[in-house]
Amino acid sequence: MEIIPVIDLMGGIVVHAKAGLRDDYDPIKSVLTAATDLGSVVTDLSAFFPFKTMYIADLDAIAGREFKVMQYQQLVADFPHIIFWLDAGIRTAADNLALTEIAGIRPIVASETLQDFSLLSDISGGVLSLDFHHGQFLGDMRLWQQTELWPNQVIVMNLDVVGSGRGPDIALLKKVRTKNPQANRVVAGGVRGIEDLRLLRAEGVEKVLIASALHDGSLSYEMLEMVT
């Protein structure tokens, strides 16, 4: 199993995401770092554990503001050993192209913001985030219904459980597997500690996105070694 730290970026600082209530996100407080700037947080996460991949949600870009292309370029230049999965609110094929041209960035196409379905044919090796909030699918329902549009790897993202300490949404995870048994599911949100990771591994999950359980100390280096 691969553990992928999540970094939520808003207004130039790293914040603590909770239940998708983006207007209420506070600067991150962490046992792993005293910093809130992106570069320092990545540095301190890397010092804690040799993560190969990190996930960045650029909440400003998701909200429709411009891509911070120069910032992304600098990030991969500073950390060439890390692959960054980046959700920057991709809406069109042009948006996707702007990010795929940056070596070290793997763009995330999220149902919440996707407008142009044609780009799905260009991300067969990419990642689609299936986003839910308040029990509702975020985005065009055709994307949820037409599983043949999905790439091989999908993120099961329930914003309700993000930062909540409620545990991962196993029911939604099972529903996605039923709809498309071939899809490799990446779980996002709700992981509290090692027992949740063991449960997800038993469900056949190979990649998990985590923030809170890392920053509050619920997952130690030794625990991560046990599951990775």
| Percent of the chain residues past pLDDT 90, beyond the cut | 68
How many angstroms separate the Cα of 120 from the Cα of each of 48, 108, 152?
A: 35, 11, 11
| pLDDT given at position 57 | 93
| Strands 127-133 vs 136-137: parallel, antiparallel or unpaired | antiparallel
171's CB contacts (< 8 A; 6+ apart) are none
DSSP states along 120-139: GGG-TTSEEEEEEETTEE-S
DSSP states along 55-69: EEEEHHHHTTPPP-H
Measured from the Cβ of residue 157, the count of other Cβ atoms closer than 10 Å reads 27
Whether the CB-CB separation of 194 and 227 falls below 8 Å is answered with: yes
pLDDT surpasses 70 at 23: no
| pLDDT given at position 124 | 56
In angstroms, the CA 225 to CA 227 distance is: 6
pLDDT surpasses 60 at 222: yes
Per-residue model confidence as pLDDT tens digits over 133-171 = 888 999 999 999 999 989 899 999 998 888 777 899 999
In the three-class reduction of DSSP (H, G, I as helix; E, B as strand; rest coil), residue 78 is classed as helix
| pLDDT given at position 119 | 83
Per-residue model confidence as pLDDT tens digits over 112-137 = 999 888 888 766 567 999 999 888 99
* Helix (H) and strand (E) counts in the chain: 9, 11
Domains of the chain: 2-227 (3.20.20.70)
pLDDT band for position 22 (cuts 50, 70, 90):
low
